[in-house]
Every structure is written in C-alpha cells, then in structure tokens.
Chains A and B, each alone.
Chain A
Amino acid sequence: MARKNRNPVGKNVDPEAQKKKTRTLTLKSSDGQEFSISESAAVLSIAIENMVEDDCAGGVIPLPLVDGGTLARVITYLNKHAEDGASDEEKRKFDEEFVSGMEMGVLFDVVLAANYLDIRGLLREVRRRIADRMKNKSVEWVRKTFHIESDFTPEEEEQMKKEFAWAWEGVDSDVDD
C-alpha cells in the first residue's frame, strides 16, 4: 500500500503522474542492451524509483545484474501493470500467463531480477510459481535444484525426520519426474 501512495499511477488529476507517463527512461542490461520504458512503469520497481529520486539516473540506468532476455520479460510485466485502464482482473490473468510457460531456469532469472529491482507483485508471483513446481518433490531434488549441500550428519537428519514425523507420513522419497 505504501508504494501506491508514493507512486500514484493512474490518477489523472495528479500532474506529476502525467509527467511520469510521458517521460521515458532507458534501462541498460548487463549485456549492454538498452530498453526504453515510461517512468510510470519503471518506478513500479522500488529500486529504480529510488535511483530516479536520487537523480543518479542521468538518462540511462545501468542494471548490471539483469541480462537482456530477463529485462525484456520484466519490462513486459511492468508495462502491463502500469497500463491505464487495465483492470485487476486483467492483470491477474496476465500474471498467470506471464509465469505459466517459464522453465525453472527462466523463473530463477526473473525471481533474481524481481528481487534485485524490488518489484513486489512480480516477486510474489514468481516465488509462488517456483514453490508450485517444488510440490511433491524429494529433498534431494530440492537440494540439487537450489545447489544446497546438507551439513547434517545422517544421525541428525534421522533425528529431524523423527521430530517432524507427521510431515513425512506417506511421503515416497526420491520420486521425481
């Protein structure tokens, strides 16, 4: 909610909002690709908003942690969410479709970008989607996918499984597709 107050997109009466709609910014990806985007869409990212406010933008905003392909995706999202007249319903549908076809690797790229750029809605959507894909997967699968190394001894691990025995009931371990 706080974001909305700081950033009154869509309120036509506000001259500042009008200016933001017409003003464009240029975002530069890690691999040197440049994208132009309206300020009103760009500032849905809290990180970019801060950069604009601190006036360290100077025309081009470098985003050294986001590659061009990912940035293009993120900009699609931002544009949709800054669009005038897009209903909540439409945005929800868009979000659903936006993440639905993405491979795990792409989801990881987008979640990193959303985290870095601080885009709350996108971050939530993508994290939820990754969690959906984790359902019914074994611990080993999760460790492998997220590059996690266990530092528990086998005894400790057994102990933990006992502690959460209810959570392990009916779980077939290591059955993944």
Chain B
Amino acid sequence: MAAQNNLDMISQSQPPHKRSIVRQLPDDLIETIISFLPPKEVCALAVLSKRFRYSWHLCRNLCFDREFAIKMSRDEYKRIVNDFFIYNRSSRAETFKLYFDAAGDTSLVCYWIHKVTTLGVREFELDFTQSTRKCMLSYELVDVKTINIMRLVNCELHLPLASNGLCHLRDLTFERVRARPMVIRAIFLNCMSLRSLRLIKCNSIFNLKIFAQELKGFQDLEVKNCSDVHLVGINAPTLRSFHYHGKICEFKFFSDLPKLNDVILEIAHPRGFHLLSNRQHVVISLSFVKVLTVTSTFLEGLSARFEGHEYKEMEFCMPRLEEFHLIVAPESNLIPSDIASFLKKCPQIERVFIDLGNNAFGTSIYWEFHGRKYLSEWETVFPHLKCVKIKGFTLKELPVMMARFFLKFGVSLHYLVLVKPMRHNFPGTFVPDCLRWGTTSNAQIQIYDYPGDTSTIIPQHL
C-alpha cells in the first residue's frame, strides 16, 4: 500500500509529461520487459542483480539467427540454444529463429520447434543454409494458428491442400525451397490471412499460379531469381506490389489489378532473341502502376516495330505512373527514342531514373533510320516532370541527346542529375551549361563521379 501512495504522490505532484525521474517499475514487470530482448542481451543482463540472475529463463525472443551464430562453433551454438529450451519458464514466445545445420540433430530441432509452437510463437524462421541437403519439415509440426510471419530457408514444407492450419499467417518467405505447384496451391487454399509472399531462389516452380481471389488482404508478391519459372499467372484483385527479378518469362493476369501501384520487372537480358510474350496484355494490366522499375528487356518489348513500310508504336497508357526507373543492360539495343516513346504514354510522370550499362546507347541502324528522326521531330512536353537522373552518362551523341531532350521537354524540370561511369572523366573544356543550349530550361544540372554520388535524388526501388 505504501508503494501505491508513493506512486500517487509522484503522479500528482508533477505533470506526467515533464517528469524527469521515471517511475520505479516492479521487479516482475522489469523481468517481463527483459524477456523481450534477444538471447545475448538477456544473458548479459544476468549481472544486473541477484533478482535478475535467472531472468533469461523467461526469454521469449528466441532469435538464434545468423548474427547470433557468428563466431560460435556448432557445438557451442547447439548447447546454448538447448539450454534456453531446457530452462525456459516463459509462457509465451514471440520469435523463434534458427540458423543451424540440422543434419544428425533432426530430433533435437523437432523438439525445439515443437516447444516454441506450444509457446504460441508469432515469428518463425528456420534457416538451414548450412545443411548440404534440404531438410524436410513436417506440416504437423508448424500447424499452429499463432504464427504470423514465417521464413524457411533451404528446407521443404509439405502443406496438405485443405487443413485451415496456418490460417493467421501474414508473411511467408521461401528461400531455396522446392516450391512445386502443389505447394503454392496449398498456400493459397490454407493461408487465408496471407499478405505477402516472397519466393527467393526457389526451384521446381514452373508455372507459378498466384490465385489469391479468395484472400482478402493479399498485397505483396516477390519472385526473385527463381531459375525455372516459365509463367507467372496472377489472379489477385487486392495486389499492391509485384516485384519480379529473374529471367524472361510469361506474365498472365487473370483479374483487374486496381490497387497494383508498385511494380519491378527486372528481367535479365536473354541470350539470343527472345521477346516478352503477350506484351500488350502485360502493359494493360499494369495500367494503375505509380512506381515502375524495369530493365531494357521489358522496354525493348514495347518499342516500335517495323510493320509494312514504317515503324509502328504500340498503343497503351499508364495514366498514374509517377516514377519510372529503367535499368539498361550492357547488351541492350535500346535507344533514347524508345524511352521517349514510352514516357509519352505517362502523362503524370514526375521522376525518371535511367541506369545506363557500359556499352548502352550504341548507334545502330535502328537509330540511324528511326530514332534520330523520331527525337528531332518530338513535340510532346512533360508538364509534371521534376527530376531526371542518368547514371553512366558520357558525352557521346546518344546520352547527350537524351539529357537535352529532358531539359527541353521537361518544362518544369527542377533537377537533372548526371552520374559518370566508373573511372570516366569529361574533357576539361566541358561546361554542364552547354547541355542547355537551345532550351529554356532553368533546371539545376548536377554532375557526380560514379563512386561519389551523394545526390539525394534516389529511386524508391534500389
């Protein structure tokens, strides 16, 4: 009771927002706060006082991840993790992360997993990077409703098609997992709360079918460096972001994507001649996008084609696009007129980032017969364009034409940022203002060396 009176006095005598001395918390409460710290910090705090000597037994942040395992032998790691489970007195676990080679110790790992699932773990990560063989994870082991976030690395999960388990899972990441069509299908039948799915370096995917029409909140899809994807089919009306990094594949959209505003299509330059299939369908499906990052492979697919006796442009519009980031592959045949022709379809464009590869923007027959004329006859202005950044800028004809193009037609351009390629110097006689000749631009022209680019104008997708 004395303590209570004491608390009353403190709170009455001083306004709460100006109090410099913070209140004394009861030891039990301090102990439960400490239990939210990761293992290393909890154990280091065992020296606080005798009262907290064994507080680490309550640890609920069981984060034995890669960083934790650094500088530790396998045996030491195993002993410490096991101690945490043997002495654990906590009623809850928030996080469980494991970075371990399970070979030879699978039953021990199963015991740990079983234990954290009974503690109602929310964030669950198994990283078996070190294992030479993929570890099989039985579904029953992780079929708990408490798990919100799951990341599996170098192992496999066998989900039955309809079990309603993992129904509260929000974020799922598979890394180096065999994500066969059945597995993906089971995910979308089971995990009704799923918001985000990341597939990184997974294999056995083939036809990736994202059929999320029954899910209320599916927002983010990332497919990165998965070697054997042939087709990505998406039916996800609530999707907000789609990031694809990898080789060229077919994209099919089975639903409207009114919320999709953030897209990366970082498609590697294909060996040999290979164009994006059903290109018209793809650009139409992306028509609500606000921030778009693509590689030259994508843009080449959209560029003008020689049909009959003349070059014909594709018809589409990206009415909401505000930021466009283009990464040009060194082997690319892309020329400035392709970029201009694309931007013409983006009336709201504000920010343009162009990363030129080493040999990009070479002159070609296509440039001689089509590009140069196309740009010299250009008339459309970009009223909303605020900043343009060109990386790998040289004083060759095409990059200079590109820069002058933006200065001339970006009628309210504020910044033109030019970053030189690695180990490249402009002649001493070069004056940035000469780019402005023939335009009325007031834009600030900033020039940076490649490693010394301190410009604050950076794309949203890095």
Contact = CB atoms under 8 A, between A and B. Distances in A.
- Residue in A128, A135, A157 whose Cβ sees the most chain B Cβ within 10 Å: A128
A52 interface: no
A167 B40 contact: yes
B462 interface: no
B4 A105 contact: no
- Binding site secondary structure of chain A: helix
Interface string B31-48: 011111111110111111
A111 B29 contact: yes
B4 A127 contact: no
Contacts of A151: 49-50
A145 B12 contact: no
Given A69-B16, A134-B41, A127 B36 contact: yes
B130 to A, nearest CB: 19
A67 B25 CA distance: 15
A171 B72 CA distance: 15
B16 A164 contact: no
Interface string A127-150: 110111011000100110111111
Contact of A131 (B11, B37, B50): B37
B23 interface: yes
Nearest to A105: B22
B94 A128 contact: yes
Contacts, number: 117
Contacts of A147: 24
A174 B35 CA distance: 21
A128 B36 contact: yes
A1 to B, nearest CB: 9
Contacts of B19: 105
B7 interface: yes
Nearest to B36: A131
A160 interface: yes
Interface in A24-49: 30-31
B427 interface: no
Contacts of A142: 45, 48
Contact of B46 (A64, A111, A160): A160
Nearest to A132: B36
Given A65-B7, A139-B44, A148 B22 contact: no
B36 A105 contact: no
Interface string A86-128: 0101000000000000001110110110010000000000011
19 contacts: A30-B11, A65-B4, A65-B7, A67-B12, A105-B20, A109-B23, A127-B32, A128-B36, A128-B94, A132-B36, A139-B45, A139-B48, A148-B30, A148-B48, A148-B52, A151-B50, A166-B43, A166-B76, A167-B44
Closest 10 CB pairs of A and B: A131-B36, A67-B11, A167-B43, A69-B16, A105-B22, A164-B43, A167-B44, A167-B40, A127-B33, A160-B47
